[in-house]
């Protein structure tokens, strides 16, 4: 995968995010021959990427767990998970380094330094485009170039994104007719659009820089 045309940086970005190029079809083995599986342990079986992911349209990121605000976080792990009801989720787990209100947003941050937070994106249907958007921002490339094998690579047990420091701008969605923040009818949490900016890539990601 080659990112030739990085998207424009958000207005709060002081410096452009460098472009990185993960291998186009990463070949990896969760259990190298030199390291046999311990007795009783289960081999890693990656979650299948749903058909149609490659052709999904890129849309802005949304999340239900990491709340609104301007956050600096460290990526702890990226993984995939098959839910009990069938959908496959792509999950980013973070450690909050600092968090404050996003200027101009009506909502206030609810996070604090040291807190463990996560975001989850449903890979089925229209939500697949959100993952393309986020990976494009994290890798500094064109989100439209993100394919299924890049998602699989991001969730490899080697955890290539671990240690990446990111700035996350979470802006709530406001109803233009009422001026009220739009919230989930299920649990009342606000809908948030996220923008990611890499402040410091992990050693693995930095090694891929062109």
pLDDT tens digits, residue range 134-185?
A: 999 998 888 999 999 999 999 999 999 999 999 999 988 888 888 788 777 6
3-state secondary structure labels for all residues of the chain: CCCCCCCCCCCCCCCCCCCECCCCCCCCCCCCCCCCCCCCCCCCCCCCCCCCHHHCCCCCEEECCCCCEEEEEEEEEEEEEECCCCCEEEEEEEEEEEEECCCCCCCCCCCCCCCEEEEEEECCHHHHHHHHHHHHHHHCCCHHHCCHHHHHHHCCCCCCCCCCEEEEEEEECECCCCCCECECCCCCCECEEEEEEEEECCHHHHCCEC
Query: Residue 72: is its pLDDT beyond 50?
Result: yes
pLDDT (0 to 100) of residue 145: 92
pLDDT (0 to 100) of residue 157: 92
* Domain-wise residue ranges, the chain: 56-206
Average pLDDT value over all residues in the chain: 78
Q: Which of 20-34, 37-51, 147-161, 182-196 has the highest mean pLDDT?
A: 147-161
């Amino acid at each position: 995968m080659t990112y030739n045309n990085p998207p424009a940086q958000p207005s709060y970005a002081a410096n452009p995010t460098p472009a990185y190029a993960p291998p186009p079809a990463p070949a990896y083995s969760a259990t190298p021959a030199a390291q046999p599986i311990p007795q009783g342990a289960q081999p890693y079986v990656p979650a299948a990427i749903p058909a149609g992911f490659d052709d999904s349209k890129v849309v802005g990121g949304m999340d239900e767990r990491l709340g609104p605000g301007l956050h600096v976080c460290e990526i702890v792990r990226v993984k995939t998970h098959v839910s009990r009801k069938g959908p496959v989720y792509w999950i980013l787990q973070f450690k909050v380094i600092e968090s404050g209100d996003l200027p101009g947003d009506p909502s206030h941050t609810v996070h604090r330094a040291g807190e463990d937070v996560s975001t989850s994106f449903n890979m089925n249907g229209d939500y697949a485009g959100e993952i393309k958007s986020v990976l494009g921002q994290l890798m500094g490339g064109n989100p439209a170039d993100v394919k299924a094998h890049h998602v699989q690579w991001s969730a490899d047990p080697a955890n290539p994104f671990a240690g990446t420091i990111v700035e996350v701008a979470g802006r709530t969605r406001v109803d233009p007719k009422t001026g009220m923040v739009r919230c989930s009818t299920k649990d009342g949490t606000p809908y948030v659009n996220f923008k990611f900016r890499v402040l410091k890539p992990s050693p693995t990601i930095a090694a891929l820089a062109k």
